[in-house]
Structure 1
Amino acid sequence: MTPKVPSLKYSPDEITAVWQCASVLLDYPDELLLSRLDMLNEVAASLPAKIGTGLLETIEYLRRPTVSATQSEYVDTFDTRRRGCLFLTYFSNGETRKRGLALLRIKQVYARAGLNLAEEQLPDHLCVVLEFGALTDARAGLKMILDNRAGLELLRIHLREADSGWSGALESVCATLPPLKGNDHEVVARLIAEGPEEEQVGLNTYGMPDVAPMPGGV
């Protein structure tokens, strides 16, 4: 049964479809992902335009003939730019000890739902959160996203300003969410002006990772 998502504009089935498609499209573009584009296109085309069009734009972008160029662009977009970070708690906690606690709380939510991540996967990766919300617990997934909404908005703005091929997928995700509230706007403005907090001393592996993309899906 599709998990119920509370107080959102679109139906649970529509939100599940957007989140699941986006969780695939925003992951590292390996051969497996690219082999799924026709299936994802069929799902996205069945959705209302306001939440389906962005997914279709990213799908079209990923049909580029040169896979290596797409992979290189992915790394440049998400792994070498702080504003392009796909790890949600980085925006709200920066490179501080608080981020380790935020990651631990998310892992505890996953564990209660019976989901155990591989050791190399951080639990706040946007693709992991979206897949969890789509397939396991929509209410808990939505809470994770809304708790980190300002960072997600900063990522959306960054991708749009960079005219990124992945912008459409994130626009579709954000279109499923409630409008930004006053405090969210203030936090986004602060993040744009100052960036996330930094605290280099005493960080462990739960700090901001200097990692390669996550091949093989979530």
Structure 2
Amino acid sequence: MNEGDLRSAHMVASVLLGYPDERLHDGLDVLAEAVAGLPAGEARERLSAFLSHVAGTPPPELAAHYVAVFDLKRRCCPYLTYYAYGDTRKRGAALLRFKHALATAGFEPSDGELPDHLAVVCELSARGAVGPARRLMLESRPGIEVLRAALEEERSPYADVVAAVLATLRPSSARERQAALRLAAQGPPAEAVGLEPYTFTEAGR
């Protein structure tokens, strides 16, 4: 994909990975047009599949599913630093790196979302900071792979969106695959201190 295609794919993914409110349902035609303009490949196929799911699912049902997987299941956590650092002191420093990348691009999430939410990182790319956003995604790739696998185990259509994001990156290395397997087997570190000024809750968005 060229840079324009990456921005378009990440723009769509950003909207789809956010809470499914009126912005999603009112913008389905625009999102479908953007996806249709992407080059053939896994990213376009996966995003198209999810848009078809949205079009055929009642909004309350889609919203309930979103909460069930992203808000109530830690293994489907959309916050990328959680996979590597859990609720430990080190996660605070990692969050600051994401916040710095957003600030450098002049971007601040409008709803107060944490800077490491996958939807926020995708939006960072869509706004033009493709390089910094992709670096953050690549550094977090094992966690994104674990998220995709967890969503697949839950039989969640959101697995298509996460898989589409992964398809915009280079192929994973053996080291990244091993790290993802280790994360899936062991889970993130545990230490419920040191996250100020950030907080993370199961039910929060």
TM (normalized to structure 2)? Answer: 0.92
Asked if 1:44 corresponds to 2:35, the answer is yes
Which of these residues, 25, 30, 52, is aligned with residue 34 of structure 1?
Answer: 25
Which of these residues, 105, 120, 127, is aligned with residue 112 of structure 2?
Answer: 120
Q: Does the 8 Å contact 1:94/1:208 carry over to 2?
A: no
SS of equivalent residue, structure 1 residue 199: coil
Tell me, in whole angstroms, the C-alpha distance in 1 between the residues paired with 2:132 and 2:150: 26
Aligned to 2:186: 194
Aligned to 1:85: 77
Aligned to 2:103: 111
Aligned to 2:2: 11
Deviation readout 1:116-140 (Å, 9 max, x if unpaired): 3457321001111001012131110
What amino acid is the match of 2:20?
A: P
Moved more, 153-162 or 111-120: 111-120
Aligned to 2:136: 144
**Gaps spanning 5+ residues in structure 1: where?**
1-9, 214-218
Tell me, in whole angstroms, the C-alpha distance in 2 between the residues paired with 1:176 and 1:155: 16
Q: Does the 8 Å contact 2:125/2:133 carry over to 1?
A: yes
Tell me, in whole angstroms, the C-alpha distance in 1 between the residues paired with 2:111 and 2:200: 16
Deviation readout 1:41-69 (Å, 9 max, x if unpaired): 11112221322110011111112352111
What amino acid is the match of 1:34?
A: H
Aligned to 2:161: 169
Q: Does the 8 Å contact 1:17/1:134 carry over to 2?
A: yes
Structure 1 runs, 4 residues or longer, greater than 4 Å off: none
Q: Does the 8 Å contact 1:95/1:207 carry over to 2?
A: no
**Gaps spanning 5+ residues in structure 2: where?**
none
Q: Does the 8 Å contact 1:64/1:70 carry over to 2?
A: no
Moved more, 126-135 or 109-118: 109-118
Which of these residues, 157, 176, 181, is aligned with residue 173 of structure 2?
Answer: 181
Moved more, 113-122 or 190-199: 113-122
Matches within 5 A, 1:54-69: 54-69=46-61
- Number of aligned residue pairs: give it: 204
Moved more, 34-43 or 111-120: 111-120
Q: Does the 8 Å contact 1:86/1:125 carry over to 2?
A: yes
Moved more, 133-142 or 115-124: 115-124
Tell me, in whole angstroms, the C-alpha distance in 2 between the residues paired with 1:203 and 1:131: 24
Deviation readout 1:136-165 (Å, 9 max, x if unpaired): 311100111011000000111112222212
TM (normalized to structure 1)? Answer: 0.87
% identical equivalent positions: 36
Tell me, in whole angstroms, the C-alpha distance in 1 between the residues paired with 2:108 and 2:37: 32
SS of equivalent residue, structure 1 residue 177: coil
Tell me, in whole angstroms, the C-alpha distance in 2 between the residues paired with 1:128 and 1:176: 16
Structure 2 CA distance for partners of 1:210 and 1:92, relative to 1, 3 Å: same
Aligned to 1:133: 125
